[in-house]
Amino acid sequence: MMTDSSQRVADAGLLADSIRLAGLKVTAPRLAVLRALSDSPHSNADALFGAVHSELPGTSLQAVYGVLAAFATAGLVRKIEPAGSPALFERRVDDNHHHIVCTRCSVVHDVECAVGHAPCLTPADALGFDVRAAEVIYWGLCAQCQLETTHP
């Protein structure tokens, strides 16, 4: 049985491998950002900075933005931009899934493809594009906010 410490070392090794496989150099800030994003998917840069700063106090918000930009360019993370919210980041990049956002508390969850295979939505006229992905964001009230609305 693995201890918490040995599990953390094993997880760090997997995170480092994923950074290397994306063609990037492994650094402490990159590992910390990827770990924070693994722990809290759909996080914005400020939330990730908070998590990383507690582990690496010398890290700046600008450094976190730089890491996220490098990760997004390398395909290691996906950036989603719900209207009226700061950009959110997630590690789930290997498929064409969608998101559902609570209009009250802003919680975000993954939603599987709407219909069929990726890109799961086909435009009526693709205008010569080779469509490879479709992004859908559903908006509504999460179960918890519905309860709070009906039982204040």
**Rounded Cα–Cα distance for residues 110 and 78 (Å):** 12
Mean pLDDT confidence for 7-18: 77
Structure-token match 């039982």, residue found = 151
Return the pLDDT at 2. 47
Tokens in use for 63? 């450094």
Confidence category of residue 120, pLDDT binned at 50, 70, 90: low
What distance, in Å, lies between the first and last C-alpha atoms of the chain?
45
Q: Answer whether 0.85 is exceeded by the pTM.
A: no
Domains of the chain: 4-80 (1.10.10.10), 95-150 (3.30.1490.190)
Would you say residue 109 has pLDDT above 50?
yes
pLDDT(5) > 60: no
Nearest to 77 by CA among 64, 61, 58: 64
Query: What is the chain's Cα-based Rg?
Result: 18
Checking if the pLDDT of 6 tops 70, the result is: no
pLDDT tens across 89-100, in order?
999 998 878 899
